Structure 1
Amino acid sequence: MPARVHAILVVRPDGRTPAAYHLRRTLAAIDEQTRPVDVLTIVLCGGDTALEELAGSSSAESVVQAPASTGYAAAVALVSPRLDGDAVWLLAQDTAPEREALARLSGVLEVSPSAAFAAPKLVRWDDRSEIVSLGVGMTRFGRSVGLADGELDQGQHDGRTDVLGTDVRGILVRASAWSELGGLDPALHGADEGLDLGVRARLAGARVALAPTAIVATAGDGVAGLPAPLTPHRRRRRAFSSRVAQLHRRLAYAPAAAVVLHWLAILPLAAWRTVADLVRKEPGSILPEWGAAFVALLRPVAVARSRRRLAGAKRTSWAQLAPLRTSGTELREQFGDESGDAFISAPRRSELRFFSGGGAWLVLGALVVSIAAFPALLAWPTLGGGALQPLRTTVSQLWADAAFGQRALGLDTVGPADPFSSVIALIGSLSPWEPSRAIVVLWVLALPLAALGGWFAATRVTERSLLRAMVGVLWALSPALLAALTQGRPSAVIAHLLLPWLFLAGSVAHRSWAGAGAASLLFAATVAAAPSLAPALLVAVVGAIVVAVIVRAGRGVVRLLWVLIPAAVVFAPLVWSAVRRGEVWGLVSDPGVPWAGPQVGADASGRALLAAGIPTPDVAGWTTVLPDGPIWWVPLLAAPVALLALAAPLTQRWAAGIALLVVTGLGLATAFAAVGISVSFEQSLPVTVWPGNGLSLAWLGAIGAAAVALDAGLAPRMTLLRGAAAAVALAAVAVLALPSLTATARGAAGLENGPESTLPAYVAAEGDDDADVGTIVLTPQNSGGVAAQVVWGGSETIGGQTTILSTRAEPDPQAVELSELAADLVTSSAEDVVARLAAHGIAFVLVAPAAEPESDAARTMRLSAVTSLDQRDSLDAVGETTKGALWRVTTDVADRPGVAASVHATAALVFAVQAAVLAAALLLAVPTAASRREARLMPRVVGPHWQEGR
C-alpha cells in the first residue's frame, strides 16, 4: 500500500450544474475516506468567489490558480513538479469517491506490484446502479471502446482486473510510473487520457489494474473526462474531443515511416466518415469530424512531443498489447443489433397491409381506369398538346439543360436552369433510349401512381384499410389532377404525384433523419414542379417548427430546418438571378412551357369553383357533357368531402384534424392568389399561374381531414356508417370526375400524338445531333406584330424552357437585339440582317403559323414576312412544312458564341454545391437497418393524440 497519497483535485465550472454543488460533495467524500489522503492539492481553473471560499476552507494543503481554459492534463501538470507521495490520485470536482475507494485502490496497487495504476468503477452521480466506466479497450484502428459503459451494475464485471486502459477519473497512479510515463498527454483534448496512459504503461512493461469494488460517483459535468451527452452542445464536444484524441493517438502510435501516410489520409478519411455519418443518420457528427481533422492536421509539434513521450518510456513491443485489444467479435457483441427481447415492451408499429388491406388492388384498378381513359397513349411515342413538348433525344442533353450555363432558348441566354429541368431530366433518364417516351408512360401511370401515393399518405392518418383506400381513390380522382392530365400540364401532374409522398415523409421529419432527408428531397422536387406552392409549404414547415419548439421542447427542430435546405440551395442561383433582374415575382411562375390554357378567372364565380376544388371554367368538363343542361349542382359534389373534413376538429384527434384543415386553407389561399397573378408570357399573351397546384394541396388536406373524421369521429362498432359515409364521398367525386375520364374518348382532351419536334424535320435532323444548331422562329400574333424566339438544337423541349425568358417584363440588350433582327427579317429595310444572324450562329429561319383562328392582322404579317425572306439572296427556301415556312442561311454560319471562363467556373461551383447538398439529403433518406429499427418503435399514424411525440 502506498505510504503517502497525493490527491489532485481539479475544479473548472464549465457544466450546467454549479461547480460548488459538486465540489462540496467531493470534498466531503475525500474527508470521509477510511484511508485518508496525505496531501490534497486543488487546482482552481477560473471560478467565482464561492469556489475560492470552498477551496480555501477545505483540508487542501494548497490551492493553485489557473486560467479557465486550462484542460485537465495541463492542470494536473501544474502540480506534478511538487508531488509529495508514493501515489497520485486524480480527481475532479464531480468525482465523489465512496468511503473505502482509496483504501481499495491502494490495496490493488499493493497486491499488484507490476501495476502502474489502479482504476475504480465509475458510477452515475445520482444512481450508483449504472456503470459509467470500468475499463477501456481499443480496436486495431485506434477506436476507444468502453468495456462496460452504460450497463447496469450487477457485479458482472467485478472479476475483471486486467485492462488496456481506463477512464482517467479517480485513478491512483504510482508516483514512479507517473514520472516515468510523463503524466497525461494534453494533446488528447480531454478524451482517452486514461487509455493513452494505460497504453504507455503497457509499453513500459507495467500493467493497468481494475479495482471494481472501489466506487467513484461522477456527474460527467467536470473538467476530467468527456462530458455526459445531455445536450446537443455536449454531444458535439464529446464527438470532437473523441475524434481529436483518436487521430492524435494514431499519429503518435504509428511507426515513423507511416506517420506521413496517416497524416495525408486524415482529410480523405474525414470525407469518407462524413458519408458514413449521413448513412447512419448522424449529421451532427460531421462538423466535429472535420474540426477534429483540421486540428490533427495542424499540430505536428504536439504529435512530435507525444511520440517522444511514448518512445522515452517504451520497453516492450506493440505485440504485447494484442491480447488486450478489442476484437471485431467483441465489438459486434457490445454494439451489434438489439435482440428481439429488447423490443418486447417497446411500442411497435402495425403492419402496413398493402396487399392484404387492398392497396395493391386499388393501384391495379386505377391502372385499368387509366388505360380506359387514355387508350391511345399506349401507341404514342411522344405526347403533345397544352404545355407538353418533346424531351431531348439524349440523356446528356437532358442534364445539360439542367445545368447552369447557356440556355436552349434565346439569342445568347446564359444563367441558371429552372430546377424543374432537373426533374424532367430525372424522368427522361428513366427511358434513356427514348426520353420522350417517359412522359407518355408517366401520363398512363399517373392515376395508379396517384392512388398509390394517396394510399401511403393515408397510412399517416389512419390504420383502417377502408379509409386508406378511400384516400387513394379521392387523390387519384382529384379535379386538379384530371384537369392537368386532360389539358397537358406536366408540371402540375408531377407536383400532384409528389405531394402525398411529401406528406408521408414530412409528417415524420421531426422524428428521424431518414424522414427529414426524404422530405427535403421531395420538398425540393415539389417546389421545383410547382413554385407557387413554396409560400404555403414554407408556412407549413415553419408552423411545424413552432409546434416542435412549444410541444416537444425543441426536439426535431434541426431536422425540420433541414427539410428546407436542399430546396434553398437548388433555387439559390435562380433567386439570385431574379433579384438581379428585378423580377422576383417571376419565381412563382409555372415552370416548363408557358401556356395560357383554360382556367378559372379571378371573379366571384371563378373563386366559387376554386372553393369546390375545380380549377377549370368548364366546371370539371361538365359543360362539354351538358352544354345546355343545368350544371349548378356540379360543385356540390365536393360537399361530402368538405363536410367530413370540417368535422375532423370535433373528434378526439382534433389536433390532426386542425393541422390538416390548415393545410387545406393554405392550398385554397394559394389557388385564390394564383388566379390573380400573371408573371409569365406565351409570346404576347400573359399567362396566369395555374391554380390547380394550390387546389392539389388543399385537396390533400381535405381528404386527410375527412379520413380523420371517419377514423376517430365514429365508434369502432359503427363500421356500416363509416363505410356508407366513405361510399357517399367516393360516389360524389367519381361523378365529378366522369367528364375528365371520358374526355379523350369524346375528343374533348387537349392531348395529341407528338410532335417529336416543334421544328421542321429538316432542322430536327441536324439539331438532334448538334445542340448548337440555331433557328429563329417568327410567329405572327393575332393581335398584331410578330413574336421572335431563338431555339437551339432540334426542338423546343420541356426541360429547355427557362423562366429567365418567359417571365422577362423589361427588355434587356439581348431582347432588343433579337427584336431588331426580327423586324429587319420581316421587312426589306436591312440588307445585312442575314449576316448578323449567321454571326450569332443561327442557321435557319422559320415563320410559324399563328394561333388558331388566324386573324387578318396575323395573316398579313405572315405573308409580308414570307415575301421579305424570299427576296433575300443569303436565304435558301426549304419550303412549307407542317411547322411553317422554313429558310436556310447559305452564308457561313459562325459557331454558337461560347461563354466566358467565369461562367464555367460559376457552373462548376453551382454544380458542386448543389450535388453535395442533394447527395447528403439522399444519404440521409436511404434507410438503414438502424433507421428501420428506430421507425418500428414509432406508430405509423402521426398524431393519434395531441400528446404524440412526448
Structure 2
Amino acid sequence: MPAATPDAAASDPAAPGAAVPSVAPAETTPSGTALSAPDPSAGFHVSPSPAVVATASASHRVHAVVVVRPDGRAPAAFHLKRTLASLQEQTRRPEALTIVLCGGDERLRDVVTGAGADFVVNASASTGFAAATALASPELSPGEAVWLLAQDAAPVPDALARLAGALELSPSVAFVAPKLVRWDDRSEIVSLGVGMTRYGRTVGLADGELDQGQHDAREDVLGTDVRGILVRGDAWRELSGLDRGLAGADEGLDLGVRARLAGARVSLVPAALVAVAGDGAAGLPAPNTPQRRRRIVYAERVAQLHRRLAYAPLAALPLHWLSLLPLAVWRTIVDLVRKQPGRIGPEWAAAVVVFVRLVSIGRARHRIATTKRIPWAQLAPLRISQGELRERLDDEPEVAIGGHRRGDLRFFSGGGAWLVLGALVVSVAAFPALLAWPVLGGGALQPLANTVAGLWDEAAFGQRALGLDTVGPADPFASVLAVIGSLAPWEPSRALVVLWVLALPLAALGGWMAATRVTERPILRLLGGATWALAPTFVVALAQGRPTAVILHLLLPWLFFAGSVAHRSWSGAGAASILLAAVVATAPSLAPALAVIWLASILLAVVLRAGRGVARLIWTAIPAIALALPLIWNAAANGRLWGLLADPGVPWAGPQVGPDSAARALLAAGIPTPDLAGWTTLIPEGPTWWVPLLTAPIALLALAAPLTQRWAVGTALLVVTALGMGTAFAAVGISVAFSQSIPVAIWPGAGLSLAWLGAVGGALVTLDAGLAPRVTFVRGIATVVVLAAVATLAVPSLTAMTRRTATIANGPESTLPAFVAAQGRDDPDVGTIVLTPQAAGGVSATVVWGASETLGGQTTMLATRTRPTPQDAVVAELAADLVTSSADDVVAGLSEVGISFILLAPAMPTESDAARTMRLSASTALNQRDTLDSVGDTAKGELWRVIGEVAPRPQEAASVVGIARLIAIGQLIVLGIALLLAVPTAASRREARRTPRVVGPHWQEGR
C-alpha cells in the first residue's frame, strides 16, 4: 500500500495552485468521450459537456472513497468494521479503495491499517467530508468512477453492482444514488432524492418514510444525499468535486444542481440499499442530542445561504449579500413565533459566516460558470412547488403511533361556563354600586393616570410623580397597571372598576383552568374554580380595596396553568415567563418562594428528564429579572435591598393580623385579618371560634395528597402550600414601607394565595386519585362539604358592601382639590406640596406633580426610604418654614423648585389633639403670608396658591433620558420575545394535542 503524506488543509483541487497530498497519484489525463443526448424525461434537450457525460462502451472502474471521522456516540471503529465488511461482500467489488482518516484513536487506526486499502490519507479531525474527498482525488485514475462513503455507510452486497449498472446504462447521468435506509432498520428510508424550492430550501423527497416501494419508480431528481453516490470519474473532475463551503449539508444537492447545469442528469437506483447510522463525516448527524440539532440547523442554514449567493444572478448578488443580516433578524422573529428559539444562535452564526466568506462564494460561482451549459429556467420542473411543500408539511399525523391524544377541554359541557356565569351574578350582587362608579377609592386604591401615555410614562425610568426631584426606575407593578388601564384608553381608571366587578368570574375561570392541570373530572374542576374564587384572602382584598392582592390572585392560577407545562412547551414557557413577571411585580414578597419552586423545577428536569426542558425553565425567569433589574440595581446602590419586598402601590396600614402566635394561627387557617374574614363584624356578640375550622376539610384533603397514587404531584403541591404559608408567616413580621410616619407590614395575603393554590390542588389530587372505586360516592360528599365550608367563610366579605362595612368607596377622580386637578391635567409639571399633620404633633410633607397622586405613580423608592436624601432635606426645610410664622421668604423657595400650590390635608381619621394643634397652627402661618393666595377650604383640605412667577420643574438630564431609553428598549425586547413565544401557532397546538392536559401520572380507573 503506497504511503501517504496528509495535508488536512489542502485546498480545492480545482483551484489554481491548490496543495494536494504527496501520495504518488496517477497522472490525470483528459478522457475521450462521445456525446449523447440527455434522457427526455429530464424536461429539456441539450448537448451535454463532453467532460461530464462519458460513453458506456466499457465497464467503469470503481474507486471507493471511505471517509472516517469519529463524530458520534457509537465508536467509529464499530461502524467502520461493518462498512469495510460490506465492501468485501459486494458481488461487484470496487477496483480501488482509499480511506481518508480524519483524526481518531489508535483502535481506529488499527482497523484502517488492517483494511487492505490501496491508499490511506491522514487528515485532521476538523476536516469535512468535502475536503476529505478532495484529499482523495489525486489517487483517482482517469475514468474511474468515484463511490463516496463514510464509516457509517454500509452497502448491501448487490448495491455497487446495481449502481454501476445504472451508471453504465445511462451515459447522460453524472452520478447515481442509492436508497439510504436506517442502520438498524432497513424498513425506514433515510433519504431517497432531494429537491429544492424556488427560494433554495432543501426538501427530502422521502425522508423518514416507511419503505413500501412507493418511491421505487422515481428516477430523475435534482439532487440526492451525498452518502453512497457513484459519480462518473470525468464528471467528478469537471465539476471539481464537492463544494466545501456548504458546511456538510446539501453537498449531494449542490453537486446535482451543477451536474444538471452542465447538461447531465442525476438518477436514483432505489434497488441499491446503503444503511447509514448518522454518526459519520458525510451528511447530517442523527438529531438525537441538543448539540447535534444545533449543528444540523447551522449546517443547513450555511448551505442554504451559500447556495443562494452561489446561484444568484450577478446583478442580484450584492442585494442578497446585504440582506443576510437583516434576514437573520426577521428569521429570529419567525423562530420565536414557531417556538424554536434554539435555532436563533445557529441562524446568526450561519449568517455571519456566509457574510464574511466571500472567497468561498466566488470559488463556487466560478465552478458553476465554467461548467454551465443550460439556463437555470430549465431546472424549474425539478423544483418543489409551494403547494407540494405545504402538502408535505401538513402530511403529519396529529398523534404519533402509541402516543397520547388529548381530550376535549369541555368548558361548556363540563360546567365551566355555568361556574363563571354564576360567579358574575354573585359579583354583581355583592358589589352593585361599582357599576356606577367611575373611580375606585378607599383602602390602597387611587385613580390611574388619565391618559394611556401617562400610564406608560409612569412605568418608565425617569422622574417620578412624587418627591421633589425623584429620578429612578419605576416599580414593575406600574407596567401591570399600564396594561390594565390601556384596556380602557378613554378612561383608564374605569378599567380598574370593571376589573373589580369581573374579579370573581375571572377568578373562577382561572381556578377552573388551573384545575384542568390536576384532574379531568368535571365536578372537581368546578370545585377548584369555586374554591379559588371564594378564597378568604381574595374576598377580603376585594372588600378592603387591595389592588395588588386582587390582581395577584387572578394571575396565580394562570401561572400554574402555564408554568406546569413550561418544561415541555415553548408556548407554556413564554406564557409562564410573562405571568411570572407580572406576579413578582404585583407581589415582590413571593419572589423567594417562587425562586425556590423555579430552582426545584430545573433540578428535577436535570435529574428526571436528562436536562430536557431546562432551557425553557430558565427562560421563564428572564422577563421578571428584566423588569425588576433597574429597581434591584437602585436598591443595591442605596442600601435598601429589604425594600424590594415591599408591596407596591399605595402604602396602607389596613387591618391585617400581627406577628403574635394567635394571629399566626389565623394565617394557618388562611385568614389574613384579625376580624376572622369579617365574621366578628357580622356576629359581633356571637361565638366565632368555629370560623377557622371552615378551612379544615380542604387542609385535611391536601395533607392526604402525598398518600395517593399520584404522590409525586401531591407532594409538589404540598411543598407549594408550605412555601406560601412560610411567606405569610414571615411577611407579618417585616415592615419595610411607611405611610407618612406609620410603618406598614407586608401583606400576608400574597403568601396565603400561593398556599391556597397548593392546598386546593392537593385536595383535588386526593379526591381524584385517593379513593378506591367502591367508595367513590365519598367524592361527591367531600366536594359538597368543602364548597359549603369555603362559601360560608366568604359570606361576610361578600356582604360587606351591603352592610356598609367595606373599605372600598366611590373614589375621587383626583387626590388633590379640583382647582389643582384642572391645571394638572393640562400641565403635568404643576407642583403641589401636601402637608399632613401627624398624630404625634409633627407634619408630613409630600410633593405631588400633576393632577393627582396615582396608583401607578407610587414608588417604593420613596415608601421604603429610611435615610433622607438632599431633596428630602429641602422638602423638610420648606415644610418647617411654611408652618412656622417666623420664617421669612419661604414662598420664594417654593417658586424656585416649581411648586405652585400648598395643600394642608386633614389629619388621619380620629385626629389627635397634637395633630389638631399642628393643623390650626399651620393654617394660621400660611394665611399670614402675603405671597400666598388662599384658594379656600376644599374636600381635600385647605389650599393656597403661590403668587407670582413659578419656575418650571427641573427637567430630566440628557443622561437620564438615554438610560431610560436603553432600559425601555432592553425590557421591550425581552417582553417581545416572551410574547412571540407565548403566541400559539398551528404547530404548537398540534404538538400540545400529543401531550396530556393533566400534569403528572394520574389514576385512570373510574373515569
User: TM-score band, normalised by the shorter chain?
Assistant: over 0.9
Are 1:452 and 2:512 an aligned pair? Answer: no
CA displacement at 1:550 relative to structure 2:
2.4
Aligned to 1:131: 189
Aligned to 2:592: 535
Q: 2:406 aligns with which of 333, 346, 349?
A: 349
Taking the aligned partners of 1:66 and 1:304, their CA distance within structure 2 comes to 26
Taking the aligned partners of 2:397 and 2:300, their CA distance within structure 1 comes to 28
Aligned to 2:799: 742
Larger deviation, residues 670-679 vs 255-264: 255-264
Query: Normalising to structure 1: TM-score of the pair?
Result: 0.97
Identity %: 71
Q: Report if aligned partners of 2:310, 2:365 keep a CA contact under 8 Å in 1.
A: yes
Q: Report if aligned partners of 1:2, 1:87 keep a CA contact under 8 Å in 2.
A: no
Larger deviation, residues 481-490 vs 929-938: 929-938
1:525-544 Cα deviation digits (max 9, x unpaired): 11111111111112112222
Aligned to 2:750: 693
1:859-911 Cα deviation digits (max 9, x unpaired): 22222322332233332221211111112222322222122222222222211
CA displacement at 1:828 relative to structure 2:
4.3
Q: 2:557 aligns with which of 492, 500, 506?
A: 500
Aligned to 1:167: 225
Aligned to 2:3: none
Aligned-partner SS, 1:768: helix
Are 1:596 and 2:657 an aligned pair? Answer: no
Taking the aligned partners of 1:904 and 1:23, their CA distance within structure 2 comes to 64
1:251-276 Cα deviation digits (max 9, x unpaired): 11111111111122222222222222
Aligned-partner SS, 2:902: strand
CA displacement at 1:832 relative to structure 2:
4.1
Q: 1:320 aligns with which of 378, 381, 386?
A: 378
Larger deviation, residues 263-272 vs 325-334: 263-272
Taking the aligned partners of 2:216 and 2:980, their CA distance within structure 1 comes to 42
1:541 corresponds to which letter in structure 2? Answer: W
Are 1:844 and 2:894 an aligned pair? Answer: no
Q: 1:258 aligns with which of 304, 309, 316?
A: 316
CA RMSD after TM alignment: 1.7
Aligned-partner SS, 1:357: coil
Aligned to 1:875: 932
Taking the aligned partners of 1:578 and 1:301, their CA distance within structure 2 comes to 53
Equivalence map 1:538-937=2 (5 Å): 538-716=595-773, 718-828=775-885, 830-937=887-994
Q: Report if aligned partners of 2:709, 2:1003 keep a CA contact under 8 Å in 1.
A: no
1:133-158 Cα deviation digits (max 9, x unpaired): 11110000000111111111111111
Taking the aligned partners of 1:300 and 1:898, their CA distance within structure 2 comes to 51
Q: Report if aligned partners of 1:776, 1:842 keep a CA contact under 8 Å in 2.
A: yes
Aligned-partner SS, 1:215: strand
Equivalence map 1:139-158=2 (5 Å): 139-158=197-216
- Ranges of 4+ aligned residues in structure 1 off by more than 6 Å: none
Pick closer, same or farther for the CA change 1:262–1:918 going to 2, 3 Å.
same
2:599 corresponds to which letter in structure 1? Answer: V
Aligned-partner SS, 2:83: helix
Aligned-partner SS, 1:879: strand
Unaligned stretches of 5+ residues in structure 2: 1-57
Q: Report if aligned partners of 1:457, 1:500 keep a CA contact under 8 Å in 2.
A: yes
Taking the aligned partners of 1:744 and 1:650, their CA distance within structure 2 comes to 42
1:99-136 Cα deviation digits (max 9, x unpaired): 22222211111011111111111111111111111111
1:585-643 Cα deviation digits (max 9, x unpaired): 11111111111111000100110000000000111111112223221111111111111
Taking the aligned partners of 2:134 and 2:367, their CA distance within structure 1 comes to 14
Aligned to 1:409: 466
1:903 corresponds to which letter in structure 2? Answer: V
Equivalence map 1:293-304=2 (5 Å): 293-304=351-362
Q: 2:252 aligns with which of 174, 191, 194?
A: 194
Taking the aligned partners of 1:384 and 1:26, their CA distance within structure 2 comes to 80
Aligned-partner SS, 1:620: helix
- Bigger radius of gyration, 1 or 2? 2
Aligned to 1:208: 266
Q: Report if aligned partners of 2:154, 2:276 keep a CA contact under 8 Å in 1.
A: yes
Q: Report if aligned partners of 2:735, 2:744 keep a CA contact under 8 Å in 1.
A: yes
Aligned to 1:307: 365
1:342-365 Cα deviation digits (max 9, x unpaired): 668642222222122221111111
Q: Report if aligned partners of 2:623, 2:975 keep a CA contact under 8 Å in 1.
A: yes
2:662 corresponds to which letter in structure 1? Answer: S
Q: Report if aligned partners of 1:461, 1:942 keep a CA contact under 8 Å in 2.
A: yes
Taking the aligned partners of 1:946 and 1:54, their CA distance within structure 2 comes to 54
1:731-789 Cα deviation digits (max 9, x unpaired): 11222111111111111111111111011111111112222222111111112322111
Taking the aligned partners of 1:222 and 1:568, their CA distance within structure 2 comes to 43
Are 1:42 and 2:103 an aligned pair? Answer: no
Q: Report if aligned partners of 1:385, 1:752 keep a CA contact under 8 Å in 2.
A: yes
CA displacement at 1:511 relative to structure 2:
2.1
Aligned to 1:282: 340
Q: 1:472 aligns with which of 526, 529, 548?
A: 529
Q: 2:151 aligns with which of 93, 104, 122?
A: 93
Q: Report if aligned partners of 1:419, 1:570 keep a CA contact under 8 Å in 2.
A: yes
1:202 corresponds to which letter in structure 2? Answer: R
Aligned to 2:295: 237
Aligned to 1:443: 500
Aligned to 2:44: none
Unaligned stretches of 5+ residues in structure 1: none
Aligned to 2:234: 176
Taking the aligned partners of 1:431 and 1:384, their CA distance within structure 2 comes to 18
CA displacement at 1:719 relative to structure 2:
5.0
Taking the aligned partners of 2:244 and 2:899, their CA distance within structure 1 comes to 70
CA displacement at 1:653 relative to structure 2:
1.8
CA displacement at 1:716 relative to structure 2:
4.4
1:19 corresponds to which letter in structure 2? Answer: A
2:281 corresponds to which letter in structure 1? Answer: V
Taking the aligned partners of 1:888 and 1:28, their CA distance within structure 2 comes to 100
Q: Report if aligned partners of 2:769, 2:1003 keep a CA contact under 8 Å in 1.
A: no
Taking the aligned partners of 1:346 and 1:686, their CA distance within structure 2 comes to 57
Larger deviation, residues 39-48 vs 151-160: 39-48
Are 1:377 and 2:434 an aligned pair? Answer: yes
Taking the aligned partners of 1:832 and 1:141, their CA distance within structure 2 comes to 77
Q: Report if aligned partners of 2:841, 2:917 keep a CA contact under 8 Å in 1.
A: no
Taking the aligned partners of 2:434 and 2:194, their CA distance within structure 1 comes to 67
1:196-227 Cα deviation digits (max 9, x unpaired): 11111111111111111121111111111111
Are 1:226 and 2:281 an aligned pair? Answer: no
Query: Normalising to structure 2: TM-score of the pair?
Result: 0.92
Taking the aligned partners of 2:62 and 2:315, their CA distance within structure 1 comes to 41
1:320 corresponds to which letter in structure 2? Answer: Q
Taking the aligned partners of 1:31 and 1:722, their CA distance within structure 2 comes to 70
Taking the aligned partners of 1:742 and 1:9, their CA distance within structure 2 comes to 84
2:807 corresponds to which letter in structure 1? Answer: G
Taking the aligned partners of 1:633 and 1:227, their CA distance within structure 2 comes to 68
Taking the aligned partners of 1:766 and 1:545, their CA distance within structure 2 comes to 54
2:521 corresponds to which letter in structure 1? Answer: R
Pick closer, same or farther for the CA change 1:2–1:786 going to 2, 3 Å.
farther
